[in-house]
Amino acid sequence: FACRGAACYRLPGPRGPLCVFRNQLPRRNDTYPEEPPPEEPPPDTTAVLPHRLRGGAALCRVCGCLGPRVCGRCHRAAYCGPEHQVLDWRRGHRRSCGQHAAGGDSADAIPEHNEFLFPEYEILIEPEEPESPSDSSVDPDDEQGAVDTPKGLKEQEELRATGSAGKACQSLDEETLEAMAKHETEEDKVFQMFKERVAAEPEQIIRYCRGGEGPIWVSGENTPEEKHIPNCSCGAKRIFEFQIMPQLLNHLQVDSLGESIDWGTLVVYTCAENCGDGNEYLEEFIWKQDFSAGSS
């Protein structure tokens, strides 16, 4: 769950206006079919958003969560609870209620321009190709070396620029400058690594590897240490499960003329023990990392 208010993303603290819940369903459950959906694409996804999961469960018109409660008048509009039913009634269902009862899907479809729901997409999951062996053995004469050279020069130039500015105002000693330059260089390296990993599959929106090698960070700043990641309420450690990439922002239709919600990456840590009996939502831990001010 994410707030749509851009200002909330500038609030201090690593979690941002975001929270994440885990619902660990057994294979046989009331919500999703036991078998994976068919391979062929769904008929026409551009028409109306589905108000039901393919397994048949109704979804709340407001928030898209399970909606076991239906409007008492039209028996078509579904809601997660009384709060969203009242909200939708005030926002216009009182006028549209029952109007399309004769047929058609539009009455119980999730309304367009819903200010709560993000658009829905199917996520295609593919394994990441392992890095080709040529990447690891860098010959100083090959392309890699050629790319490095101008970058090195640029860093030196930046160093010189910072140095002269420091001398002019007499406020920064050499040690501070060195530290600043070193920090910037390290920032560059982290961001560079991020860009190189993403370049292999630029459209990626999620990287999933539960308990695996961990996330790729967009910055060397504000990365959590182990002590920053709280244990699950059951007492077990939380481990890395997946990260959400900044590319997802392009699909959420959140850009407005003013400003937009923003993140560098969102990293989700979940209970290593998969606790819970499968019928509840358990809150897990999310860490928001922003791009460092210098990267672009």
Residue numbers at the binding site for Zn ion (CB under 5 A): 3, 5, 8, 17, 60, 62-63, 71, 73-74, 77, 80, 84, 97, 232, 234, 236, 271, 273, 275
Q: Are the CB atoms for 252 and 221 separated by under 8 Å?
A: no
Complex with Zn ion: residue 233 or 253, whichever CB lies closer? 233
Task: Please state the length of the chain.
Answer: 296
Complex with Zn ion: residue 88 or 188, whichever CB lies closer? 88
Q: Are the CB atoms for 167 and 195 separated by under 8 Å?
A: no
CB of 14 to Zn ion, least distance (A): 16
Q: How far is CA 271 from CA 24, 48, 49, 233, in A?
A: 11, 36, 32, 9
Complex with Zn ion: residue 80 or 244, whichever CB lies closer? 80
CB of 222 to Zn ion, least distance (A): 20
Exposure letters 93-114 (e unless 16+ CB within 10 A, then b): beeebeeeeeeeeebbbbbeeb
For residues 135 and 79, give the distance between their C-alpha atoms in angstroms, rounded to a whole number: 52
Complex with Zn ion: residue 3 or 180, whichever CB lies closer? 3
CB of 219 to Zn ion, least distance (A): 23
CB of 74 to Zn ion, least distance (A): 3
Complex with Zn ion: residue 9 or 194, whichever CB lies closer? 9
Which tokens hold the place of 175?
Answer: 């040690």
CB of 261 to Zn ion, least distance (A): 9
